């Protein structure tokens, strides 16, 4: 009634909050959790579909991912190509944001069909990380601005998603500890830009 619809970040947040935030540049270093979800072999998939069919499949994926993540109290940061980026901030997800990030990533797997008799309608992998990142408004202060998170923890979360196999959620040691998960199916991965192997806990929805 007041002309304030839901935010693009989260359906339970007022759009005015999003507009206000983007209008005030700056940010803060904050301990948060992040989830990246990446479609496997999206280029090959697009070659076998018409542009409209490909768009419908991707929109189905975006819907499943964003619904699962916002149900777990995430803020949707970006839909970029074949990837979804979400932030779990203490102000929205509480102090247990790492557990909610893991919960949201596993919920995505379930919603696209992993662990069901029909199987997934699309092949995806996910990465979860927890760490201190810069969270705030970035961009051209006179024109385009965006609210996002920056820093090594964000980069690592993206690399984990890229390294995950179909149906896998790779959880960093930091997120595993913060979410109080018993480390299991531990794997070392080699991520671009990181000199040392990265130990991860591998979770699946089967």
CA distance to 51, 116, 205, per residue, from 56 (Å): 9, 21, 24
Q: What are phi and psi of 58, to 5 degrees?
A: -65, -40
| Alpha carbon distance 95, 90 (integer Å) | 5
What are the pLDDT digits (tens) for 117-161? 999 999 999 999 999 999 998 876 566 778 899 999 999 999 999
The pLDDT value given to residue 7: 52
Cβ atoms within 10 Å, residue 78: 13
What is residue 27's three-state secondary structure? strand
Structural domains in the chain, sorted by start: 26-204 (3.30.70.1230)
pTM: 0.87
Which of 179, 159, 178 is CA-nearest to residue 170? Answer: 159
Q: What is the dihedral of CA 144, 55, 80, 69, to 10 degrees?
A: 110
Packing angle of the helix pair 51-71, 97-112 (nearest 10 deg): 140
What are the pLDDT digits (tens) for 155-193? 999 999 999 999 999 999 999 999 999 877 899 999 888
**Mean pLDDT calculated for residue range 14-33:** 68
Question: Are the C-beta atoms of residues 72 and 107 closer than 8 Å to each other?
Answer: yes
Question: Are the C-beta atoms of residues 170 and 200 closer than 8 Å to each other?
Answer: yes
The pLDDT value given to residue 25: 62
Which of 114, 102, 107 is CA-nearest to residue 160? Answer: 102
What is residue 187's three-state secondary structure? strand
What are the pLDDT digits (tens) for 86-97? 999 999 999 999
What is residue 120's three-state secondary structure? coil
The pLDDT value given to residue 68: 97
Which distant-in-sequence residues (6+ apart) come within 8 Å of 115 by Cβ?
A: 109, 204, 205, 206
The pLDDT value given to residue 16: 47
Mean pLDDT of the chain: 88
Q: What percent of the chain has pLDDT over 70?
A: 85
């Amino acid at each position: 009634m007041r002309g304030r619809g839901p935010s693009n970040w989260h359906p339970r947040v007022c759009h005015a909050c999003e507009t206000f935030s983007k209008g005030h540049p700056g940010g803060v270093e904050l301990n948060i959790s992040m989830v990246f979800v990446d479609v496997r072999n999206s280029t090959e998939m697009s070659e076998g579909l018409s542009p409209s069919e490909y768009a419908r499949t991707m929109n189905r994926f975006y819907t499943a991912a964003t619904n699962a993540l916002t149900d777990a109290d995430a803020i949707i940061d970006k839909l970029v190509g074949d990837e979804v980026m979400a932030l779990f901030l203490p102000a929205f997800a509480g102090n247990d944001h790492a557990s909610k990030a893991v919960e949201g990533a596993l919920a995505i797997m379930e919603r696209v069909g992993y662990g069901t008799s029909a199987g997934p309608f699309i092949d995806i992998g996910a990465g979860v990380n927890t760490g201190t990142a810069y969270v705030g408004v970035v961009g051209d202060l006179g024109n385009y601005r965006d609210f996002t998170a920056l820093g090594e923890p964000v980069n690592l979360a993206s690399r984990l998603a890229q390294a995950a196999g179909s149906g896998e959620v790779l959880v960093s040691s930091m997120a595993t500890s913060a979410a109080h998960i018993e480390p299991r199916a531990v794997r070392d991965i080699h991520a671009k830009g990181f000199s040392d192997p990265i130990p991860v806990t591998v979770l699946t929805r089967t």
